[in-house]
Structure 1
Amino acid sequence: MSRISTAQLAKYLLTGSITHRGCLHARFRMAATNRGFANDARVQRTTPTIPAVPFRKQLKDQNKADKASGNKRKKNVDNQTVPGWELTVGIEIHAQLNTNHKFFSPAATSFQDSPNRHVALFDLAVPGSQPLFQSETLIPAVRAAIALGCDIQTVSRFDRKHYFHWDQPSGYQITQYYHPFARDGRVSLYPRDGIAPADGDRVDIEIERVQLEQDTAKTTAIAGNVHWLDFNRVGVPLIEIITKPQIHHPATAAALVRKVQMLLAAVDACIFGMEAGGLRADVNVSVRRAGGAASPRTPLGTRTEIKNLSSFKAVEDAIIAERDRQIAILEAGGIVEGETRGWSLGSTETRRLRGKEGEVDYRYMPDPDLGPLVIADDLVARLADSMGILPDQEIDDLVGSYGLSTKDAMSLLTLDDGARVQYFYNVLDALEERLGLSHDASPASDQRHAQLAANWCLHELGKLTELSSDLAMTPDGECRVPSIDLAAILAHLHGRDITAKVAKELLWGVFRGEIPSGGVTQAIESNGLWFHELSEGEYADLADRVIQGEDKVLSEFLRFKQGKAKAYPQGKLMFLVGKMMRAGVEQRMDPSSAEKVMRARLESVYLPALEAS
């Protein structure tokens, strides 16, 4: 595996002199441990601090409050269109880049340390300090632009965007207004991405530009109209992704932001997703009357911007609320004003923040302290070759080669900022090793072990956090349940060495730390949890015992066999199987085996006897 050091990259940007030695390789995705270039420039990713109240719990609590107050909103699927009106949305997405250093100072990008610990002189705009572009920050930015299908510009330049606020010590933000480093990208969205049904089987959203810019300080409001500033965030590298105004449904807007987050995570460009604060979206919303068959549509209406949306749900809900507000104004004969508006979690209306700024307000100008940024074509080619599989191809592979459902494949890619799918691959590798299987040699039709692994990585693992703490999933796909331990549990379950109930108990034991890593098999042995299944004859004896006295149930099966009932009485069958499970020794019984034997006894013994009588 070849790597490019920071010093080499800096030299490369100036001379293009790095020798091509081959590309990085990844089986499915580039794991966090082998995605960087040199040890001195390797990106160190950390798991974000879990908030005191998890975001999803905030949403649940808000929904309960809305329902109790009678203000429960209709599902968004009912709010995608308004008859006679057309919605138009453009989106600006700000994403924190996965780097060790800030854009223009050597200070570290750390979000876990105490406030104001990682601050250089330039970050505070100390007189005489100068910006020094950190070349390694360019790597994840170029990866992101490639994933978005953009044309990388050989030469781009930095500009100053002037505004005065306490979170920006210099009085301006360094950005790329006139000459961004990437242009003309495209993101394709499909029904599996969650687009509105009206958008059909596919919608392509054009990316107008992707630009580099620095972040501002973090402001924390406390009682007494006091604000605390953390300058650790000043100068943190961002990219701003700006789409063309081509979105016409709120659900599709949310789907685009979700898809962009998946793409950035897949190429290791973005540190955290929306819920962890690593990605924010601003949406520009306008409405106009829809033209009929004989009349053209009116020009686009006045747009308003909704700032700093921090969840996919917020993107959809805020657009719906702002669309409805603008339509109500226009239908009442009013005029929509161009302005910047805000949105709060659980709101039903956007709120005015300020009038809309323009170019004159920001006084954009080329930054005199920074020269042009030169990106050579062979560097772009090298990064493109090393990125691995992008989400759409990976989903197709999970569905086609592993037999997963589209829903499960999407969930694996989106959970834990993309780390859950890496966990799945880790579990699957360990499971196949235990079972003596090779995925490359296994036919796509025989992937029951992969489907079993996906089910447990999603659903059973998810149950662990419903009443307990976080999984603590890391970017390289490990968590409080080590992948080798889950693979051990699933190998025994797949081989019918243990029951599903025992497997779940073992999972809880590993999660709680009661079973040490690597000790699953020993825990089964020491606690006598091996599954010694009943013989077929013992199952048959149980079936005969529980059928006695169930003449009414048997008559239902006979009616179906004689064509007098439209549907097979599956519920009655499972009633009998339940009686079998209760009558026997649970630790020695498998529900599917019990069902198979009960069905056979009914069809070969009891129904023929009823017909003969």
Structure 2
Amino acid sequence: MGRIPTAELGRYLLTGQLGRQGCLRGAGGRRFPTRHFASQIETSTSTSTSTSTSTALPPNADPAPPPTPLRKQLKEQARSLKASGKTKTKNADNQTVAGWELTVGIEIHAQLNTARKLFSAAATSVNDAANSHVALFDAAMPGAQPLFQPATLIPAVRAALALGCTVQRVSRFDRKHYFHWDQPAGYQITQYHAPLARGGRVVLRARDGIAGEDGAAVAVAIRQLQLEQDTAKTTAQPGGAHWLDLNRVGLPLVEIITAPEIRHPATAAALVRKVQMLLRSVDACVLGMEAGGLRADVNVSVRRAGEGGLGTRTEIKNLSSFRAVEDAVIAERDRQIAVLEAGGTVAGETRGWSLGSTETRRLRGKEGEVDYRYMPDPDLGPVVVGDDLVRHLGASMGALPDAELDQLVDGHGLSAKDALSLMLLDDGARIQYFYKVLDAVEARLGCAGDGTGGCQTQAGQRHALLAANWCLHELGKLTEISSDLGMTPDGECHVPSGDLAAILGHLHQREITAKVAKDLLWGVFRGDVAAGGVTQAIETGGLWFRELSEQEYAALADRVAHGEAKVLGDFLRFKQGRTKAYPQGKLMFLVGKMMRAGPEQQMDPASAEKVMRSRIEQVYVPGLEAEA
């Protein structure tokens, strides 16, 4: 797909190190010259002797438990709503309220794909033992100084370019002051006055899931994109205690701030989903909302239809799923409208949302710019980014989601829904798996691909549809038994792409039945079929499809049609014009009887249907006419 991983690109641009292939390819196959651009990223810090490279706090807790799967969270939400006795209107029918106008602005915080923190060399892993990756600066030890890590700029600039922003040649860091246990220093380092990038926009189309009221497309402006630190992870414990994990302190984030231009809840959720897809597509952010790598703060206000200006806004913090964004916006909109209709005043405040809730809850009063006392960070100089670096990063991004979606729909014949699902599943790894499977299938079938996952012919579209169906639905059925497919970022899982391609190749050539193909998939997943051993398993088990002859199909059809005069009468009445619709249901009833009566491993449903239709038209119906 023409994409270069962020880690490999960072090593090349900052240190001149090349991968095993000896070169990097940009979009279109163009090679980069063997030189690096470290001189084009300058940080005018006076604190190069940071102690953040070697010291970490000792672990004080067990490793964090894995995140709860989203499917389980949604089930718990449904149970909670049912237990509350409250009913809920479908969101599709709840996008507007007569006489009122909604305005939404969103702040998206995305964790950058880097190996080190923003201002220390501590590792960014958050799944290891608590407090095992904490430098002196992360813990705000007296005398510890920040040391900006230039490698964090690579994914940040790519994120800005993917959103259509203009990267500023000079950006600066500010201190945002507030006191909370998750912020050891008492302030957060961010970029408020001089961010890394400004401008940009995200175009949302109907296929992205926007509200029907927005029409075919809507554009949302991006005000700015800024670098900032993450805070500690807080885990509530019995008795009112809270445990802090400082592994997350200092993780590099980009905060993406939109203009208040969103008018409908579904469009707000679509915007967050589209931004996540864009960041993943350029390898800037590798963890999605469900894994905690992306969070959204939503600003909501309402006003009466026709009124000028904006209403008083409230902010809903730390929404962690697309569904939560839409549900929280609807709940807060309805709450504000109820307050105003009762003659009250909406207070500017920060509110929270819990999975399964039907109402937002107050957290604290809303802080303003003055409350945070923004000031330039005295320990960090400006960041200067060269124009040639920006050009090289832009050339290495590969296809963006809209272009890739168009290719999947128009080039490969997939539905927009299936294409989007492939692109979103497994943090973007499922689409890479699909391309690998498709290329391997076409290699087996002798159809040369074009490097984008498939050959652009009618046959190629059939191959793509087959691969997409199995990568989405059949692979998805395995997760009903085991929630972990073991999908890796480069697109491999417990069912190797080559093995699935072998199964699909045999299925496409009608060498095995669909049932045998599904059994083989399950066998590969469980490890009963060794990697690369699909064909051998078919041979050993005698699973090759040796189809019945046409005469054998006909004899089977005659056997199951015997005694079905009432059913066959429907076909006679259709031929005589006494009914308008062809009795397709009755035809499939007879085909089903054939499939049950015959040797399943030797029968193809399409062939059985063809023979049964022919026998009905040429033998059974004429026989009924003769009897009449």
TM over 0.5: yes
Q: Quote how far apart the aligned CAs of 1:9 are.
A: 2.7
Q: Quote how far apart the aligned CAs of 1:561 are.
A: 1.6
Matched to 1:156, the amino acid is S
Map 1:190-339 to 2 at 5 A.
Answer: 190-291=205-306, 297-339=307-349
Question: In the alignment, does 2:11 pair up with 1:9?
Answer: no
Consecutive unaligned residues of structure 1, counting only runs of 5 or more, are: 12-20, 29-35, 39-47, 292-296
Whole-Å Cα distance in 2 between the matches of residues 461 and 551 of structure 1? 42
Compared CA separation, residues 37 and 372, structure 1 to 2 (3 A): closer
Corresponding residue for residue 590 of structure 1? 604
Whole-Å Cα distance in 2 between the matches of residues 5 and 99 of structure 1? 9
Corresponding residue for residue 471 of structure 1? 485
Q: Is the 8 A contact 2:351 2:364 kept in 1?
A: yes
Alpha-carbon displacement from aligned partner over 1:246-283 (angstroms, at most 9, x marks no partner):
00000000000000000000000012000000000000
Secondary structure of the residue that 1:205 maps to in structure 2?
A: strand
Corresponding residue for residue 351 of structure 2? 341
Consecutive unaligned residues of structure 2, counting only runs of 5 or more, are: 17-21, 30-35, 39-62
Q: Quote how far apart the aligned CAs of 1:499 are.
A: 0.4
Question: In the alignment, does 2:571 pair up with 1:561?
Answer: no
Corresponding residue for residue 97 of structure 2? 82
Q: Quote how far apart the aligned CAs of 1:74 are.
A: 1.6
Question: In the alignment, does 2:470 pair up with 1:456?
Answer: yes
2:85 corresponds, among 53, 59, 70, to 70
Alpha-carbon displacement from aligned partner over 1:188-245 (angstroms, at most 9, x marks no partner):
0011100000000000000000000000111111112221111111110000000000
Secondary structure of the residue that 2:290 maps to in structure 1?
A: coil
Corresponding residue for residue 51 of structure 2? none
Q: Is the 8 A contact 2:13 2:37 kept in 1?
A: no
Corresponding residue for residue 17 of structure 1? none
Q: Quote how far apart the aligned CAs of 1:467 are.
A: 2.3
Corresponding residue for residue 33 of structure 1? none
Secondary structure of the residue that 1:283 maps to in structure 2?
A: strand
Q: Is the 8 A contact 2:591 2:605 kept in 1?
A: yes
Give the TM-score normalised by structure 1: 0.92
1:525 corresponds, among 539, 543, 549, to 539
2:375 corresponds, among 360, 365, 369, to 365
Question: In the alignment, does 2:115 pair up with 1:123?
Answer: no
Alpha-carbon displacement from aligned partner over 1:70-121 (angstroms, at most 9, x marks no partner):
3231210111000000000000000000000011111111112111111111
Question: Which region of structure 1 is more displaced relative to structure 2, 67-76 or 468-477?
Answer: 67-76
Q: Quote how far apart the aligned CAs of 1:52 are.
A: 6.7
Aligned CA-pair RMSD: 2.1
Whole-Å Cα distance in 1 between the matches of residues 37 and 517 of structure 2? 41
Q: Quote how far apart the aligned CAs of 1:319 are.
A: 0.3
Q: Is the 8 A contact 1:97 1:140 kept in 2?
A: yes
Corresponding residue for residue 444 of structure 1? 457
Matched to 1:398, the amino acid is L
Q: Is the 8 A contact 1:10 1:135 kept in 2?
A: no
Give the TM-score normalised by structure 2: 0.90
Corresponding residue for residue 552 of structure 1? 566
Alpha-carbon displacement from aligned partner over 1:372-425 (angstroms, at most 9, x marks no partner):
110111101100000000000001001111111111101000111111100000
Secondary structure of the residue that 1:208 maps to in structure 2?
A: strand
Corresponding residue for residue 24 of structure 1? 25
Q: Is the 8 A contact 1:149 1:186 kept in 2?
A: yes
Q: Is the 8 A contact 1:210 1:239 kept in 2?
A: yes
Q: Identity over aligned residues, as a percent?
A: 73
Whole-Å Cα distance in 2 between the matches of residues 260 and 577 of structure 1? 48
Question: In the alignment, does 2:553 pair up with 1:539?
Answer: yes
Question: In the alignment, does 2:104 pair up with 1:92?
Answer: no
Alpha-carbon displacement from aligned partner over 1:446-472 (angstroms, at most 9, x marks no partner):
221111000000000000011223112
Whole-Å Cα distance in 2 between the matches of residues 220 and 521 of structure 1? 50
Whole-Å Cα distance in 1 between the matches of residues 82 and 572 of structure 2? 48
Matched to 1:535, the amino acid is S
Whole-Å Cα distance in 2 between the matches of residues 433 and 50 of structure 1? 42
Secondary structure of the residue that 2:266 maps to in structure 1?
A: helix
Q: Quote how far apart the aligned CAs of 1:50 are.
A: 7.9
Question: In the alignment, does 2:69 pair up with 1:54?
Answer: yes
2:158 corresponds, among 143, 148, 160, to 143
Whole-Å Cα distance in 1 between the matches of residues 83 and 555 of structure 2? 54
Matched to 1:93, the amino acid is I
Whole-Å Cα distance in 2 between the matches of residues 49 and 584 of structure 1? 55
Compared CA separation, residues 603 and 442, structure 1 to 2 (3 A): farther
Question: Which region of structure 1 is more displaced relative to structure 2, 480-489 or 118-127?
Answer: 118-127
Compared CA separation, residues 300 and 472, structure 1 to 2 (3 A): same
Compared CA separation, residues 569 and 27, structure 1 to 2 (3 A): farther
Secondary structure of the residue that 1:287 maps to in structure 2?
A: strand
Secondary structure of the residue that 1:83 maps to in structure 2?
A: coil
Secondary structure of the residue that 2:226 maps to in structure 1?
A: strand
Corresponding residue for residue 363 of structure 2? 353
Secondary structure of the residue that 2:362 maps to in structure 1?
A: strand
Alpha-carbon displacement from aligned partner over 1:510-538 (angstroms, at most 9, x marks no partner):
11111111111111111111111101110
Whole-Å Cα distance in 1 between the matches of residues 521 and 271 of structure 2? 36
Compared CA separation, residues 122 and 10, structure 1 to 2 (3 A): farther
Corresponding residue for residue 609 of structure 1? 623
Secondary structure of the residue that 1:396 maps to in structure 2?
A: helix
Alpha-carbon displacement from aligned partner over 1:344-366 (angstroms, at most 9, x marks no partner):
00000000000000112110000
Compared CA separation, residues 53 and 5, structure 1 to 2 (3 A): closer
Q: Is the 8 A contact 2:64 2:130 kept in 1?
A: no
Compared CA separation, residues 427 and 26, structure 1 to 2 (3 A): farther
Question: Which region of structure 1 is more displaced relative to structure 2, 69-78 or 397-406?
Answer: 69-78
Corresponding residue for residue 43 of structure 1? none
Whole-Å Cα distance in 2 between the matches of residues 164 and 252 of structure 1? 34
Corresponding residue for residue 202 of structure 2? 187
Map 1:482-493 to 2 at 5 A.
Answer: 482-493=496-507
Whole-Å Cα distance in 1 between the matches of residues 455 and 287 of structure 2? 35
Q: Quote how far apart the aligned CAs of 1:604 are.
A: 1.7
Secondary structure of the residue that 1:9 maps to in structure 2?
A: helix
Question: In the alignment, does 2:391 pair up with 1:391?
Answer: no
